[in-house]
């Protein structure tokens, strides 16, 4: 057995002894055979997100690409939540997997119904906020979006003005100065940025403001309509674009090579993702299936008048159609919130036999992945950050030769970091988030002609946000 301690603190240390005792006990009782024991990997994590998709103890089995079970198993223990006295019970429950109401079959995390919940949340955000009495921003660590930090915006504006002045000095200033923010939400960052730019431009006497074309992108016109009042003062400078964050170039083909700055805050961490495990020199794809623990499903069914056999159907119907089947939001929203809190993901590892045939996200292929992994840990689990990667790859063509991409988000900047902790998926209110595999983005970007750099978000103490920005490779 391999025991991996991904996080060191007193509680994790105490749990380690309990883990060893529990495993020996299970072998002695015949709940684990010696073959399994030899390939067993025990990981003790500290789960950052109190709301997540894992039980206190989870067991992940390995399978061949053709469905046969492989002698491989990972067991994860959340040392933040575990009670060492209950470990054996939790372990037995994790291995049994029988007391669950599944709401889908095994599939890629990217295809999982949890992303439908995520979409549902953004579509019904007001209902959620009304029920909790808190705005989305208040759920964020720090109580507000880092994108709205006034000093961060002020610094950015000054740097951007320097760029424009340099372009003008070189007689390369374009007739229209295009910027794009993807995921504008309420529009308040755009408004702050434009206020700041207007003032700084006037102070410097540079006269760039009339050239500004600020493209505000979000997933629907309804959302953009809500952002419109925030930028009322600057409306002539603003353009509103309904877009899929994963395909910006599709929404703005006329701006290929014409945008000087693209900004995103906390968008990539909320895009569909999938994970890969590297074990013993082999790659395994993580498949998931969403479930609700039987006891919770029974409780929710009873409370909301749903027959248990109809539980899955009612859940899927709510996601597809809204709250009508609950007679409206009064009943529907509380069910949704309790359901979301109860949803877990069961996992299995499926061997990637033929990497060249795997449908990698755009920007990645078997050869590139092998290159990227050549310097990575031999035994680890990592995000492909599929949605983020596709968004990234489909944003770069928009950049002007002097343009840059600026992303405020939570990044894993070195693949070795994956050896030291858990980086999602977690839950944030009704949404889903993952850390973004910045190390992978960096490698992929180089082949696209860009260097990716990370710098700490210096404007808020103890923040986990960092800033990714691109520069052109020559």
Applying CB under 8 A, the residues found at the interface with other proteins are 171-172, 174, 256-257, 367, 396-397, 399-402, 446-450, 472-474
Looking from the CA of 196 toward its CB, the CA atoms found within 13 Å total 20
Is the CB of 30 or the CB of 359 nearer to other proteins?
Answer: 359
Q: Which is nearer to other proteins, 216 or 440 (CB)?
A: 440
To the nearest whole angstrom, how small is the minimum distance from the Cβ of residue 362 to other proteins?
12
Q: How far is the CB of 371 from other proteins (least distance, A)?
A: 9
Closest to other proteins by CB, 271 or 439: 439
Comparing CB distances to other proteins, the nearer of 143 and 367 is 367
Closest approach, Cβ 194 to other proteins, in A, equals 24
State in angstroms the smallest separation of the CB of 437 from other proteins: 19
Quick check: 262 and 213 in contact, CB under 8 A?
A: no
DSSP per-residue letters across 41-101: EEEEE--S-SSBS--SEEEEEEE-TTSPEEEEEEEEEETTT--GGGHHHHHHHHHH--SEE
Q: Give CA–CA dist 15/79, Å, rounded.
A: 7
Task: Tokens 């998926």: give the residue.
Answer: 425
Distances (CA, A) of 461 to 153, 358, 424: 17, 41, 22
| Opening angle at CA 429, ends 427 and 431, nearest 5 | 60
- Nearest CB to other proteins, comparing residues 139 and 366: 366
DSSP 134-145: --HHHHSTTSS-
Minimum separation from the CB atom of position 449 to other proteins (A): 3
Q: What Cα–Cα distance (Å) separates residue 41 from each residue in 80, 122, 274?
A: 19, 37, 21
First and final C-alpha spacing in the chain: 48
The single residue listed with the structure tokens 């909320």 is 270
Of 253 and 456, the one with the shorter C-beta distance to other proteins is 253
Report, in Å, the least distance between residue 305 CB and other proteins: 54
CA–CA separation, 14 and 223 (whole Å): 48
Smallest gap from residue 450 Cβ to other proteins (A)? 8
Quick one: 302 or 473, whose CB is closer to other proteins?
473
Encode burial over 304-342: b for 16+ CB neighbours within 10 A, e otherwise: bebeeeebbebbeebbeebbebbeebeebbebbbebbeb
Closest CB to other proteins among 322 and 397?
Answer: 397
For the CB of residue 228, give the shortest distance to other proteins in the complex, in Å.
31
């Amino acid at each position: 057995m391999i025991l991996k301690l991904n996080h060191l603190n007193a509680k994790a240390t105490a749990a380690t002894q309990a883990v060893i005792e529990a495993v020996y006990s299970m072998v002695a009782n015949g709940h684990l055979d010696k073959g399994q024991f030899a390939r067993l990997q025990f990981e003790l994590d500290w789960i950052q997100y109190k709301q997540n998709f894992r039980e206190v103890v989870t067991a992940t089995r390995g399978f061949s690409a053709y469905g046969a079970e492989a002698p491989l198993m990972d067991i994860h223990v959340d040392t933040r939540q575990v009670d060492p006295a209950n470990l054996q019970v939790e372990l037995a429950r994790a291995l049994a997997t029988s007391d669950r109401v599944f709401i889908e079959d095994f599939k890629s995390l990217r295809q999982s119904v949890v992303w439908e919940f995520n979409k549902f949340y953004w579509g019904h955000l007001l209902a959620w906020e009304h029920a909790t009495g808190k705005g989305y921003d208040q759920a964020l660590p720090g109580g507000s979006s880092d994108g709205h930090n006034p000093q961060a915006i002020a610094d950015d504006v000054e740097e951007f003005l320097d760029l424009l002045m340099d372009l003008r000095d070189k007689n390369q200033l374009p007739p229209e100065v295009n910027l794009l923010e993807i995921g504008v939400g309420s529009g308040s960052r755009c408004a702050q940025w434009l206020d700041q730019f207007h003032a700084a431009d006037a102070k410097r006497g540079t006269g760039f403001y009339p050239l500004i074309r600020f493209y505000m992108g979000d997933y629907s016109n309804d959302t953009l309509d809500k952002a419109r009042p925030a930028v009322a003062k600057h409306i002539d400078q603003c353009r509103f674009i309904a877009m899929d964050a994963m395909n910006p170039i599709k929404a703005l083909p006329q701006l290929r090579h014409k945008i000087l700055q693209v900004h995103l805050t906390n968008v990539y961490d909320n895009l569909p993702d999938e994970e890969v495990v590297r074990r013993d020199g082999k790659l395994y794809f993580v498949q998931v299936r969403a479930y609700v623990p039987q006891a919770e499903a029974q409780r929710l069914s009873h409370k909301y008048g749903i027959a248990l056999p109809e539980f899955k159907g009612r859940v899927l119907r709510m996601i597809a159609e809204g709250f009508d089947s609950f007679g409206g939001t009064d009943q529907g929203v509380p069910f949704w919130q309790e359901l979301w809190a109860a949803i877990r993901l069961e996992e299995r590892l499926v061997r990637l036999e033929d990497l060249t045939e795997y449908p990698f996200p755009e920007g990645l292929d078997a050869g590139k992945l092998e290159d990227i992994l050549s310097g990575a840990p031999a035994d680890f689990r990592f995000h492909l950050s599929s949605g983020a990667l596709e968004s990234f790859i489909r944003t770069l063509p928009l950049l002007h030769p002097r343009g840059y991409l600026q992303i405020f988000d939570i990044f894993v900047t070195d693949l070795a970091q994956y050896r030291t902790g858990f980086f999602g998926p977690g839950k944030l209110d009704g949404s889903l988030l993952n850390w973004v595999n910045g190390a992978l983005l960096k490698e992929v970007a180089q082949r696209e002609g860009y260097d990716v750099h990370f710098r700490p978000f210096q404007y808020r103490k103890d923040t986990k946000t960092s800033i990714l920005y691109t520069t052109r490779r020559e």
